Structure 1
Amino acid sequence: MSTRRLTYTLASAFVLLVVTGCGTGGDSDAEAVAWTNQVCGALSGFARAATTQPQVNGADPVATVRGLGDYFTATGTAVQGSITALDAIGPSPVAGGDEYVARLKGALTQIRTGFDAARGQLTTVDTSSVQTMSVALPTALAPLQELRNMADPTAGLQANDELKAAADKAANCQQVRSTTSPAR
């Protein structure tokens, strides 16, 4: 079902973009690695939730809507957890790190808003048949389409060699990368 792929793709692409925005780099100091590890750790719950595909059954409209709603709820909760965790991280020991976290929080807030709006719209979907649902579901999921136009939260990060190097050494960044990497 294309709806399932859209939601999964949007969320997992965001997480992958954020974590790979830290790319590869040279040496970094322990303080930068520890701070970057906390940033990636804050994203880990969202990464797991976002990359778990919604449970849908194309032959059962009620189950499909429920599965999408459950996915949006779980992802929205995980996004809020990431925002809260990012708020708890202290100031960056690396120039530009605080701005990066601010962009991440802004992007996560946009994602949460989109998923919450889509979840709310799901309550209006007529599940009396697959045909009626197939007409109403695209409208309900329109807030997710808007996420495609979201600004890249990693803009400018590629120029920060210290953050890139720290992310390469941070265990949580490696874990989030492996969570969001496509299966081979």
Structure 2
Amino acid sequence: MKPFRGSVVAAVAAASCLTLAGCAGDTVPGAAAQTTATAPAPTDGSGQPQADTVAWAGQVCSALAPVYQSLGAPPQPDLNDLAATRDAYLTYFENAGSAAEQAANQIGQAGAPPTDNGAAVRDDLQAQLNDLRDNLTAARDQLANVDTSDPAAVADAVRSAGQTAAGAGDAAQVRDTLNNDPELAAAVQQAPECADLPLGQPGSGG
């Protein structure tokens, strides 16, 4: 998903659909969220997910936590100092993009979960995070190119940056990727590292 062509405004629309957000009708090649489990999820015999599956979920959530932390506190616009606000968003996008890249690498190191669609799930999560990194980097680059001598242009760019930040932290697509597999969904519920992330099934309070 490489939709960035043009102004920062284009980045806003793309960021709403990027890795952590998910849009209706938007697909990622190889997306595990589109597959349908046809066999019972492997368990330890008691109906609970296997311990190594819970451990994998914990590794993934540990990798994702810095991404959510980076995206969760966007700069507060200062209408009296648009240049400073612009610089704050540049730092915000850079830090969040770096966190997404690190998370993708860590999930790669964690390997595939021990489920039937494990490799597809791992690849999908990495693709989502790499797209997030690319989109945030593109938004940062376009914001950096705004003419700071034009207050109206800076104001528009800052407004668009705020919209990009607001759209980037939605966990819908990551949640769907994990919850599509019953065992992974159960593992996410059990892994302590996942407790504070918005990855539970809709309506579960997670």
- State the TM-score, normalizing by the size of structure 1: 0.71
Aligned equivalent of 2:192, options 171, 176, 181: 171
- Which ranges in structure 1 are unaligned for 5 or more consecutive residues? 179-184
Q: Does 1:14 align with 2:35?
A: no
Aligned equivalent of 1:72, options 93, 98, 117: 93
In the alignment, which residue of structure 1 is the partner of 2:6? none
In the alignment, which residue of structure 1 is the partner of 2:154? 133
Aligned equivalent of 2:105, options 84, 89, 98: 84
- The Cα of 1:94 is off from its aligned counterpart by 1.8
Asked whether the 8 Å contact 1:11–1:51 carries over to 2, the reply is: no
Aligned equivalent of 1:95, options 113, 116, 128: 116
Asked whether the 8 Å contact 2:61–2:197 carries over to 1, the reply is: yes
**What is the distance in 2 between the residues matched to 1:137 and 1:47?**
21
Cα distance change of structure 1 residues 145 and 30 upon mapping to structure 2, 3 Å threshold: closer
The one-letter amino acid of 1:35's match is W
SS at match of 2:112: coil
In the alignment, which residue of structure 1 is the partner of 2:37? none
SS at match of 2:80: coil
**What is the distance in 1 between the residues matched to 2:142 and 2:21?**
24
Cα distance change of structure 1 residues 67 and 11 upon mapping to structure 2, 3 Å threshold: farther
In the alignment, which residue of structure 2 is the partner of 1:45? 66
**What is the distance in 2 between the residues matched to 1:115 and 1:155?**
22
In the alignment, which residue of structure 1 is the partner of 2:202? none
Asked whether the 8 Å contact 1:118–1:142 carries over to 2, the reply is: no
**What is the distance in 2 between the residues matched to 1:15 and 1:171?**
23
- The Cα of 1:47 is off from its aligned counterpart by 1.2
Asked whether the 8 Å contact 2:16–2:164 carries over to 1, the reply is: no
SS at match of 1:175: coil
Larger helix fraction of residues: 1
In the alignment, which residue of structure 2 is the partner of 1:27? 48
- The Cα of 1:58 is off from its aligned counterpart by 2.1
Asked whether the 8 Å contact 2:53–2:114 carries over to 1, the reply is: yes
Aligned residues: 164
- The Cα of 1:15 is off from its aligned counterpart by 7.1
The one-letter amino acid of 1:30's match is A
Aligned equivalent of 1:123, options 100, 125, 144: 144
Aligned equivalent of 1:59, options 52, 75, 80: 80
SS at match of 2:133: helix
- State the TM-score, normalizing by the size of structure 2: 0.64
| Aligned-residue CA RMSD (Å) | 3.9
In the alignment, which residue of structure 1 is the partner of 2:132? 111
- Which ranges in structure 2 are unaligned for 5 or more consecutive residues? 1-8, 24-32, 34-40, 42-46, 200-206
**What is the distance in 2 between the residues matched to 1:141 and 1:94?**
39
**What is the distance in 1 between the residues matched to 2:177 and 2:97?**
27
The one-letter amino acid of 1:39's match is V
